[in-house]
Structure 1
Amino acid sequence: MSFMQHLKSSWYQKRLLRPELNGMFEPPVENQWVAIDCEMSGLNAKKNHLLSIAAIHINGSVIDTGQGLHLICRPPVMPTKDTIIIHGLRPIDVENGLSYEQMLAKLLPFIGNRPIVGFCPQLDISFLNPLVKAYMGTYLPNPVIDIRTLYNRYSGNRTQGIPDQSSHLSAICQQLKLPDMAAHDAYNDAIMTAMAFLLLK
């Protein structure tokens, strides 16, 4: 952890409202990460809502799919037919989901102090952070790793004939010869993200 990251973490920790989550501010253990992926009703965190989130531990070179989380949330506004086509979550799927507080009570201890790995994780975190702040008084303190950055470094920013390929998780997995699982499913996307990360890190 850099000096600036330490200062940021200390600032967040002073504002923590839930002492049971104090461990999130400890320095991360070497070779431990958590891959996350979210499904939302849209891409605007100010207008749209979180629908589901998956999180999977990466321990060394092992993706611990057996102990992963896949949490369906109950949003304040039900999904519309226009967005159901994208994420596949219908009102009947989410109306009995977890409240955001119930979801965070499971998710945050699972994330712990692990660096967060994601595909465009800044978008996921833009939806999570307002909920996290309301729940525990502070934003997520974890370092964040975007596999797009790792892939661009790996490929030397060459598109290899695929326009803007780093903007699609499936395109990255195809170039890395990884299995292409069903897209727009949070759990499958988290697994694909974890696999790509282990090859690129």
Structure 2
Amino acid sequence: MNTPLSSLNLWQKLKREWLIYHLGDASFRFMFDPAPANEWVALDCETTGLNTRTDEIISIGAVRIVGNRIMTSERLELLVRPERGISPESVRVHRLRERDVAQGLPIDEAMKQLMRFIGSRPLVGYFLQFDVSMLNRAIWPILGQGLPQPKIEVSSLYYDYKYKQLDRIRHLDNDDIDLRFDTMMRDLDLPQREAHDALNDAVMAALAFIKLRQLRIA
């Protein structure tokens, strides 16, 4: 008789095989391989806005993490050419103008480069759900599905750390924890780069991830 754990493992195996079978481009099957031990990819996207259904990706930054090291020599920086224009409001956030991305990659080529860079490594990021939603919309026409890798949200790791830290002192209300990116970086005593640059944000998310893993182990 199967134990709950063995049943879960069987379900995960069947799901994996089902996803591979329905993979739109079999050349990306490697994303379902076992991930390299103690390796992750931190990533971030800059977009024309915050609507995951209509806005577009205009830049992607990603960096590999191996153990407690950020492999800045193994980074990915891509500019992506949008099909529509970039609003003045979004330019004020990320400082990317239409002429800056005019020679960027078509979105499908950018997604292929990103998927090859990620491989089967788990993904790390801040507000990662937004980035993954934007990426999956662009990846779906290629794969017929979204990114299969596990996703790790650094703000969730930070929340857990702060909750345990502060709850020892007093009763803690959920609203007492400030999850803003700059607050988190300052509290963790980590260097900050200029924000709203895809690679900078990916590197800062990687720094926070490594620090929070160390604090959890300590």
Which of 101, 105, 111 is the aligned partner of 1:104? Answer: 111
Instruction: Tell me the matched-pair count.
Output: 197
Contact 1:74 / 1:100 at 8 angstroms: preserved in 2?
yes
Decide which of 25, 32, 35 is 2:42's aligned counterpart: 35
**TM-score, structure 1 normalization:** 0.92
Matches within 5 A, 1:1-201: 3=9, 4-156=11-163, 165-166=178-179, 168-201=180-213
Residues 58-102 of structure 1, C-alpha deviations (whole Å, 9 max, x = no match): 011110111200101011112111110011110001111000111
For 1:6-65, what per-residue CA distance to the aligned partner results, in whole angstroms no more than 9, with x for missing partners? 444333211112222111001222201000001111111112111111110001111011
Deviation at 1:164, TM superposition (A): 5.4
Distance 1:105 1:115 in 2: 17
8 Å Cα contact 1:12-1:139 kept in structure 2: no
Indicate the percent of aligned positions where both proteins have the same amino acid. Answer: 37
**Consecutive unaligned residues in structure 2, runs of 5 or more:** 1-7, 167-171, 214-218
Is the alpha carbon distance of 1:26 and 1:174 closer, same or farther for their aligned partners in structure 2, counting shifts above 3 Å? same
**Which residues of structure 1 form unaligned runs of 5+?**
none
Which moves more between the two structures, 2-11 or 70-79?
2-11
State the TM-score, normalized to the length of structure 2.
0.85
Which stretch has the larger CA shift, 6-15 or 41-50? 6-15
- Structure showing greater radius of gyration is 2
Say if 1:56 and 1:67, in contact at 8 Å, map to a contact too. Answer: yes
